[in-house]
Amino acid sequence: MAKGRRRRAWNLLAAALPRLGALVTVGLLAFVAGYVLWRGLPGLSWALLTQEESVLHGQVGIAPCILNTVYVIAVSLAAALPLGVGAAVYLTEYAPRRRLAAAVEFAAETLSGLPSILYAMVGSILFCTVLGLQKSLLAGSLTLAIMTLPTVIRATQESLKTVPRSYREGALGLGAGKWRTVRTVVLPSSVRGIAAGCILAAGRVVGESAVLLYTAGLSTAMQDFSSLSGLVKASGSTLTVALYVYAKERSDFTTAFAVATVLLFLTVLLNLTAGAVGRRR
Amino acid sequence: MQKRFLPVLMLCLLLTGCGGREPPAGLQGTVSTDGSTSMADVMAVLQEAFREKCPGVTVNYSGTGSGAGVEAALSGACDIGLTSRELRPEEAAQGAAAHLIALDAVAVVVNPCRPLEDLSLERLAGIFTGRITTWDQLGCGEGPIAVYGREAGSGTRTAFEDLAGVADRCAYTNIYGSTGDVVGSVASNPNAIGYASLASAGEDVRTVKIGSVPCTEDTVRSGDYPLRRPFLMVTRRDARLGEAASAFLDFARSGEAAGYLSLAGAIAP
Amino acid sequence: MGVLLAACALAAVVFLLLIALYLILAGLPAIRKAGLGEFLLGTVWDSTNAEAPRFGILPMLLTSLWGAAGAVVLGVPVGFFTAVYLAKAAPRPLARVLRPAVSLLAGIPSVVYGLVGMCALVPALRAALDLPAGDSLLAAVIVLAVMILPSVIDLTTTALEAVPREYEEGSLALGATEAETWLRVSAPAARSGIAAAVVLGVGRALGEAMAILMVAGNVPNMPGLLRSVRFLTTGIAIEMNYASPGSLQRQALFSIGLVLFVFILLVNLLLNRTLKGRKGA
């Protein structure tokens, strides 16, 4: 029967395509990771990671960039966390009015889909010019805080939803008020999920380059983190921005690939940590 | 090579004394500089040299382009603006003051494997306006010509197009965001020709003579090489510069700094 | 306390409104000066011409459209079939290793993809297709497709795994083969998740700037597969640092930003309606 033959042919194809797809995917992603490691590992050294660069002494180092990355992660999370957790608590715990909740969720979803170049533009005007922060890591971190807000909100919401109703009912039954219930029962139970969300947000921050390029500057010199004014005025490149600078502006591909390798390891680390933190019950 | 000269150079400079007053070693602060990407190497050297004099001062550099550098200086967004072209009349009218710290040339570069030695200004214009499209029209092997340039607003592009007489008529194959980018891209594409600051054109690319004049320190200083432009630090005429910033500016203009310029490939004025 | 938390929730809405408002305010002047028709349909972008600057964004608009479409056409099928493999066809131990590996790669910074594209893909294209330079729309489409793969796979796999086993068992019991079950029963049942993956892929492709900046050539030509092109995002990125504040050029860049913003909103709305709307209640 022709139908049987056609069906067999169709099935052959249909069974082969998933395997083919997987092969292509794995091949491509293995190529990307492999190529980065192949060109980056030779340039990687303890000296590179702990020194700053010096033209006069002919050395290359990305320690300032690593510190800048830490700064940006810390500050953007510090800004996004209270707002994000607060928003999520409100959305899940306080029986919000339908329209307000819908508006907030729409806003969060839209914010998370906006191109980073738009954040870069608006952030550079809002934080660098209007608020007078000039090009600084602080301005960049605040812009990134807005960008990662949706991630924190969503992760916290998911985490809050997994807290059993019985916990809340038990606390209310014992006479605790709404906020006290949230503060002492619900939040502590969802800390792991929130932490996992933070790590995910940190991953987004680490991977972001466009925003920082236009709000935090390109300097690869060591910044002064020892004083408050130094912290506010510090301006420099994080690891991703440094990668861009080394590859495009300096054509120093050895260092660029070394930075890419560091970023690869960092991504793996953050992902594994987020998974481990989120999984343990 | 340069590492061996450096201690000797520093010794000579110390012995002969440097022009300008010495900045106090205990100076503190941050100096923000913004502007031309062609001045990146010069700034890197000056930053470090100044740091050794005044460890408490951090000098930051952002390569945002000559136009943006002047604007940033005028609006107060940065302390010192950097441009790799002369100030425009309207910029000077708005209160910009320029301080010459080095001379630079716009070098025309090709891939090292391309046997091109010399180009007349006319042929150069022909290539960049798209009249000449393949390398065998120039007798330098085969392949299509890939014309690399800078984005609109770049000081190097403005300087090149004005000096070569091709303003607003260039037909680019690719556009890049910085002078280092052009150099790196030309170095990796045998079909490419581009222009970049002489300071950035290193050994990875071949620098072409223009009208049989090579692009060297002497021809640039004498003016024989046609495509030359100034490296300027720009400040606001009517505003007072902070202590750290003015110390850095004085240092950059001093004879001592001139010694460091060659490390960066720029030419002392 | 509830009020404070509500304020946190409103923050997301406020930020979105701020961004939208700023883009509109900053973007309208140039559109008004150049004329909406000339802006959207003009084919020449010559922003720094001293006498007669022209601000036609049609080349960039079309490039963004074609680029995103190309990335989706390449990436979604490969991603879909890979997801089918991971969710259904793969041996369980292999899937347990591959799934996290793929989702991990979703976190790699875009500049890393740009770097690999710049150093491996572009020279390869130049050599293989005998071009003056390999930077082209094709290079950008390939890089974008690889970039959206992990997210598409992740979402689709989750959606496929969520299909109730009864559906599949029923189908098998009726005599369908495994491949037929996957493609004719599970996939349609997971429609909304797959649609979400497509929307995400399109959003990411439209919004990407840094990776494309490194491989597309950045000349505002009308889109051609092998020509150097400029997207809406890279159009902003490449001139933003150079445009003097207050100049018409700077205003025009904000206009591009406004167009991009509206574009993304429209595409999201359209896709959400057509793809997700077909799902039953």
Give the model confidence (pLDDT) of C7-65 as tens digits: 888 888 889 899 999 999 988 888 888 888 888 888 888 777 666 778 888 999 999 99
- Region of A273 please: left (phi>0), alpha (psi -120 to 50) or beta: alpha
pLDDT at C280: 41
CA atoms in the 13 A half-sphere facing the CB of C183: 17
Residue to mutate among B38, B62, B174, with most A CBs inside 10 A, is B62
- Euclidean distance between CA atoms A9 and A12, whole angstroms: 5
Average pLDDT over every residue of B226-255: 88
Is the pLDDT at C277 greater than 70, yes or no?
no
Residue of B nearest to C118 (CA): B185
Residue of C nearest to A146 (CA): C15
Whether the pTM exceeds 0.90: the reply is: no
The token pair that represents C7 in the structure block: 């304020």
Residue to mutate among A219, A237, A255, with most B CBs inside 10 A, is A219
pLDDT at B13: 46
Residue B197 pairs in a beta bridge with B106
Give the model confidence (pLDDT) of C238-274 as tens digits: 888 766 666 777 888 899 999 999 988 888 788 777 7
For residue A5, being part of any structural domain is answered with no
Average pLDDT over every residue of B90-115: 90
pLDDT at B254: 86
CA distances from C276 to A101, A102, A161, C80 (A): 21, 18, 24, 17
For residue A33, being part of any structural domain is answered with no
Of B68, B189, B191, the CB nearest to C241: B68
ipTM: 0.89
Is the pLDDT at B14 greater than 50, yes or no?
no
Q: Which among B234, B242, B213, B217 has a CA at the least distance from the CA of B225?
A: B213
What SS3 state is found at A128?
A: helix
Residues of B with a Cβ under 8 Å from any C Cβ are 63-65, 67-68, 70-71, 75, 143-146, 148, 151-154, 168, 172-177, 185, 188-189, 191-192
Residue to mutate among B151, B154, B162, B166, with most C CBs inside 10 A, is B151
CA distances from B250 to B69, B234, B241, B256, C248 (A): 19, 13, 11, 10, 35
Neighbours of chain C (3+ CB pairs under 8 A): A, B
Average pLDDT over every residue of C161-178: 87
C228 in contact with chain B, both atoms CB, cutoff 8 A: yes
- Euclidean distance between CA atoms A24 and A15, whole angstroms: 15
Is the pLDDT at B192 greater than 90, yes or no?
yes
For residue A230, being part of any structural domain is answered with yes
How big is chain B by its Cα radius of gyration, in Å? 19
Q: Are strands B29-35 and B80-83 parallel, antiparallel or unpaired?
A: parallel
**Cβ contacts of residue A243 below 8 Å, gap of 6+?**
A209, A256, A259, A260, A263, C109, C111, C112, C115
Residue of B nearest to A251 (CA): B184
Neighbours of chain A (3+ CB pairs under 8 A): B, C
Check the CA dihedral B47-B50-B52-B57 and report its sign. Answer: negative
Question: How close is the nearest chain C Cα to the Cα of B30, in Å?
Answer: 22
Per the model's pLDDT, the better-predicted residue between B18 and B53 turns out to be B53
Check the CA dihedral A139-A143-A146-A151 and report its sign. Answer: negative
Q: Which helix (H) or strand (E) holds B220?
A: helix B217-222
Residue of B nearest to A226 (CA): B56
C63 in contact with chain B, both atoms CB, cutoff 8 A: no
Which chain A residues have a beta carbon less than 8 Å from that of C26? 125
With bands split at pLDDT 50, 70 and 90, how would you rate the model's confidence at B27?
A: confident
**Residues B176/B200, Cβ–Cβ less than 8 Å:** no
Per the model's pLDDT, the better-predicted residue between C74 and C273 turns out to be C74
Residue B99 pairs in a beta bridge with B233
Angle, helices B40-53 vs B243-253, to 10°: value is 110
**Cβ contacts of residue B257 below 8 Å, gap of 6+?**
B46, B49, B101, B251
Q: Do B181 and A135 touch (CB under 8 A)?
A: no
pLDDT at A1: 55
For residue C196, being part of any structural domain is answered with yes
pLDDT at B189: 92
For residue A172, being part of any structural domain is answered with yes
Give residue A89's domain range: 60-238
- Measured between its terminal Cα atoms, the distance across chain C in Å is 37
Exposure b/e, C257-276, CB count within 10 A at least 16 = b: bbbbbebbeebbeebeeebb
Q: Where are the alpha helices (DSSP H) in chain A?
A: 2-40, 46-50, 63-93, 98-113, 116-123, 137-161, 165-173, 178-181, 187-189, 191-207, 210-215, 228-233, 239-244, 253-279
Count of CB atoms situated within 10 Å of the CB of C101: 17
Is the pLDDT at A280 greater than 70, yes or no?
no
How many domains is chain C partitioned into structurally?
A: 1
Q: Do C239 and B175 touch (CB under 8 A)?
A: no
Average pLDDT over every residue of A205-220: 86
Give the model confidence (pLDDT) of C98-139 as tens digits: 888 887 778 899 999 999 999 999 999 999 998 888 899 999
Angle, helices C248-271 vs A116-123, to 10°: value is 140
pLDDT at C180: 84
pLDDT at C190: 85
Of C50, C133, C218, the CB nearest to B146: C133
How big is chain A by its Cα radius of gyration, in Å? 24
For residue A191, being part of any structural domain is answered with yes
Angle, helices A116-123 vs C232-240, to 10°: value is 30
Which chain A residues have a beta carbon less than 8 Å from that of C237? 117, 120, 210, 213
With bands split at pLDDT 50, 70 and 90, how would you rate the model's confidence at A130?
A: confident
Q: Do C2 and A179 touch (CB under 8 A)?
A: yes
What SS3 state is found at A222?
A: coil
Residue with tokens 């020709």: B193
The token pair that represents A91 in the structure block: 């959305």
**What percent of chain C is modeled with pLDDT above 70?**
95
- Euclidean distance between CA atoms C158 and C193, whole angstroms: 8
**What percent of chain A is modeled with pLDDT above 90?**
28
Q: Do B180 and A249 touch (CB under 8 A)?
A: yes
Residue of A nearest to C118 (CA): A247
What SS3 state is found at B60?
A: strand
Residue B81 pairs in a beta bridge with B34, B234
pLDDT at C246: 65
Question: How close is the nearest chain C Cα to the Cα of B32, in Å?
Answer: 16
Query: In this structure, what CATH number is given to the domain that contains residue A200?
Result: 1.10.3720.10
Give residue C208's domain range: 22-280
CA distances from A245 to A241, B49, B78, C113 (A): 6, 22, 20, 15
Of B70, B153, B174, the CB nearest to C228: B174
For residue C116, being part of any structural domain is answered with yes
Which chain C residues have a beta carbon less than 8 Å from that of A251? none
Query: In this structure, what CATH number is given to the domain that contains residue C255?
Result: 1.10.3720.10
Q: Which among A86, A149, A123 has a CA at the least distance from the CA of A217?
A: A123
Count of CB atoms situated within 10 Å of the CB of A109: 16
Q: Which among B171, B201, B214 has a CA at the least distance from the CA of B111?
A: B201
Which chain B residues have a beta carbon less than 8 Å from that of A134? 32, 77-78
For residue A19, being part of any structural domain is answered with no
With bands split at pLDDT 50, 70 and 90, how would you rate the model's confidence at B19?
A: very low
Q: Which helix (H) or strand (E) holds C125?
A: helix C122-129
CA distances from A100 to A112, B163, C13, C266 (A): 18, 61, 10, 22
Question: How close is the nearest chain A Cα to the Cα of B47, in Å?
Answer: 9
Q: Do B32 and A222 touch (CB under 8 A)?
A: no
Residue with tokens 């441009």: B83
Q: Do C126 and B64 touch (CB under 8 A)?
A: no
Which chain A residues have a beta carbon less than 8 Å from that of C114? 244
Phi, psi for residue A100 in degrees, rounded to 5: -65, -45
Is the pLDDT at B269 greater than 90, yes or no?
no
Q: Do A240 and C113 touch (CB under 8 A)?
A: no
**Residues A115/C264, Cβ–Cβ less than 8 Å:** yes
Per the model's pLDDT, the better-predicted residue between A54 and C182 turns out to be C182
Count of CB atoms situated within 10 Å of the CB of A6: 10
Of C12, C107, C180, the CB nearest to A267: C107
Angle, helices B155-164 vs B121-128, to 10°: value is 120
**Residues B54/A215, Cβ–Cβ less than 8 Å:** no
pLDDT at A205: 92
Residue B27 exposed, middle or buried by CB count within 10 Å (0-12, 13-18, 19+) = middle
pLDDT at A96: 64
Q: How many CB pairs under 8 A join B and C?
A: 79
**Cβ contacts of residue A27 below 8 Å, gap of 6+?**
none
With bands split at pLDDT 50, 70 and 90, how would you rate the model's confidence at B4?
A: low
Residue of A nearest to C256 (CA): A118
Residue with tokens 């309207």: B90
Per the model's pLDDT, the better-predicted residue between A274 and C259 turns out to be C259
How many domains is chain A partitioned into structurally?
A: 1
For residue A153, being part of any structural domain is answered with yes
Residue with tokens 């330098």: B140
Q: Are strands B29-35 and B57-63 parallel, antiparallel or unpaired?
A: parallel
